[in-house]
Structure 1
């Protein structure tokens, strides 16, 4: 059986950018990741679990092609040493992945552990495969009809509204075929938009999926994830973890990939660390939990308090976005005087209706794989949304006390 993944690069850019930083700063660090299914009523069956386990084994077949190596070499933020490292990279699922499936309950337990730089690429492919296994063998009440046109219509609305957006849907896609259909449609509509407009305002800025960026001649989009902040809180101390992480990231990329993630330990804690020096160095911030409507004035006022013109900065929104929400947030950002960009994921790559009830949505999975331990220390994400906290209540409360949130 061949891999359901298209390539080693069938992954999100932020995993590669973090891997590059880890290789520079934390090469001997060991980590553990843990899978969580947030939708308790969506379970795998025995067929799905068997297919998934085979696909995990098939990860070891993936390797960088000559064409892919050339593509990566053209990305200015990676050096030749890293491209060579990735050329020799191989997944080792027997060594790194532990998986258990309970056929009675349908519950899946999955952990990934090992050296950070060797295990960091597993998260997104594993999530994509888990989602695909469910829609192959459990929920089969759907087909691909209408997917292309649905994506075209979404792109048309976003572009005509003036939205700058990118596709962020690898982790929770229905399958690779859906992802490819969507990217073909988005690219097609953007090209038509560019030809029709003398002065384009809206834009398809790219895709987080590196393989599809290469296939469709788009910019791969991505910077850093919560995992990097969480691990550094263990390695460098949780106090000022945001500041230390952003400094390490800037040391690696010198202003490239300069979007700061705000909500690993809640945005109020982040803002205490995000002083004028860092706020000047980073071109903007990413909002990924909590209320975006509250976040916009909060960031605008923070920039103003530092003597920075908010119009020189951008907020990247990436939390459960759809077309309507993106357009609404763009209008708000324009009113407050700050630029906006949108990373849209599940709404692009897992937007289906049931065949049996064409007006009823086919529910996507809500699944995550989060870093759990770093060099044996428990790490957590606090988030601006309590439902996204990544630990039990006692651990959360202990971290809050350390951060002065109690």
Structure 2
């Protein structure tokens, strides 16, 4: 699908152009987690809140609150379509059919609703909260983020002429193609689209996904966006996120149970799913402490996703841990997903997918030619590596604005669990700058979990 982005943006004058076109327009792992929540915690009350870590960008000054609420109300009225439920019921995901239970799909069709929400403005920022049963609030995360991001994009587009819009998208397409060219024909490379939550727009994400699928062949393994996977017959990819351990830790009656909650999540998850869906996300309260205290059966899981630690460091740590538990790392999967761009993806693939020779460094790998040079690289994986490419795939308009400035630069916008059954929720992560929760609660959790392996790194996206 080739869209004339400039003409469409220039002629954009209809009353409501929905950002969220379907309830499937979300990360696939949100649907997996929704079934998990429906099955195990249907009556738990959870509040999500949205915040802008790029605080210098005053979102409430870019578009009116009425425009935001119109989009939110449209999303809240959506229901799963019969064709979408048939796809969830009958499609093969990760090589398995029937991962969604019939009773869950019936519930989606008859009873699923998004919760109410509250929105206000404070210090130039939109304040949004979503409170209700966990099953009613969890899906708001992706819808709210994609709505706010696209409304920011539309506000910035309005100030450009049709000629300026043409320049903007010509530059963005050139930037995208330069990245794709670097990735073409790289032996053994595996990467997918993880860019829904902070995308430039729905149509741009669709364009990017189609460009990747058409030009990267088997190296492109799919998209986390369930709607695009359904529409374009692509693999829907994704497993789980931080919200489940955050909620279970908040619900824990004491500190010992709180520390054990990160493993209780895995126990319940492996009772719901299996195979390629058994991917650990160990950094909610710090990867180093997680691995040090993990039950031995955790080493039997398929792999690990790295989200907030330097992926080179985290991958080496995971490999060493697997070896200490008597498992062969070559059989496991390492997924990197934090602030990736093309050069880091190639460097990580070189580092974990083979042996660097004659002083070659990860940053020296810029195209397939470098991987085919026998003096630089010897194929033979240390661990299976895959990249989940997010914001800098679907929203890299840095330097594309013909008028200069950063109006189209991506934001670090998040929507996370604030409390569960009235108890405050916390995320520590492997980066001090990414901790979430009140100062007092964050400090209390750090006393429980420690800070081993935690770094202080600027948050980019």
TM-score, with length taken from structure 1: 0.90
Q: Which of residues 296, 319, 333 is equivalent to 2:352? A: 333
* In structure 2, C-alpha distance between the alignment counterparts of 1:101 and 1:361, rounded to whole Å: 20
Q: What SS does the corresponding residue of 2:385 show, helix, strand or coil? A: strand
Q: What SS does the corresponding residue of 1:245 show, helix, strand or coil? A: helix
The equivalent residue for 1:299 is 318
Aligned positions, number: 391
- Cα deviations by residue, 1:171-222 (Å, 9 ceiling, x for unpaired): 00111111111112112113xx46xxxxxxxx21110000000111111111
* In structure 2, C-alpha distance between the alignment counterparts of 1:337 and 1:115, rounded to whole Å: 43
The equivalent residue for 1:29 is 44
The verdict on how the C-alpha distance between 1:359 and 1:31 changes in structure 2, with shifts beyond 3 A counting, is: closer
* In structure 1, C-alpha distance between the alignment counterparts of 2:334 and 2:181, rounded to whole Å: 22
The equivalent residue for 1:400 is 446
- Cα deviations by residue, 1:50-78 (Å, 9 ceiling, x for unpaired): 21111001113322222212211124321
User: Which piece of structure 1 moves more, 393-402 or 213-222?
Assistant: 393-402
The equivalent residue for 1:319 is 338
Q: What SS does the corresponding residue of 1:252 show, helix, strand or coil? A: coil
Q: Which of residues 391, 406, 412 is equivalent to 1:346? A: 391
Q: Which of residues 245, 248, 252 is equivalent to 2:265? A: 245
* In structure 1, C-alpha distance between the alignment counterparts of 2:407 and 2:42, rounded to whole Å: 44
The equivalent residue for 2:199 is 173
Q: Is the 8 A contact 2:249 2:261 kept in 1?
A: yes
* In structure 2, C-alpha distance between the alignment counterparts of 1:232 and 1:255, rounded to whole Å: 23
Q: What SS does the corresponding residue of 1:10 show, helix, strand or coil? A: coil
Q: What SS does the corresponding residue of 1:5 show, helix, strand or coil? A: coil
Deviation of residue 359 (structure 1)?
10
TM-score, with length taken from structure 2: 0.80
The equivalent residue for 2:104 is 82
Q: Which of residues 228, 240, 261 is equivalent to 1:212? A: 228
Deviation of residue 358 (structure 1)?
6.8
- Cα deviations by residue, 1:133-160 (Å, 9 ceiling, x for unpaired): 1121146565433545543443342242
Q: Say whether 1:188 aligns with 2:214.
A: yes
Unmatched 5+ residue regions in structure 2? 1-15, 356-380, 453-461
Q: What SS does the corresponding residue of 1:223 show, helix, strand or coil? A: coil
Instruction: Say which one has the larger Rg.
Output: 2
Q: Is the 8 A contact 1:32 1:111 kept in 2?
A: yes
- The root-mean-square deviation of aligned C-alpha atoms, in Å, is 2.1
The equivalent residue for 1:198 is none
* In structure 1, C-alpha distance between the alignment counterparts of 2:58 and 2:180, rounded to whole Å: 32
* In structure 2, C-alpha distance between the alignment counterparts of 1:228 and 1:60, rounded to whole Å: 23
Q: Say whether 1:385 aligns with 2:431.
A: yes
The equivalent residue for 1:309 is 328
The verdict on how the C-alpha distance between 1:359 and 1:3 changes in structure 2, with shifts beyond 3 A counting, is: closer
* In structure 2, C-alpha distance between the alignment counterparts of 1:106 and 1:359, rounded to whole Å: 19
User: Which piece of structure 1 moves more, 289-298 or 168-177?
Assistant: 289-298
Q: Which of residues 114, 121, 132 is equivalent to 1:114? A: 132
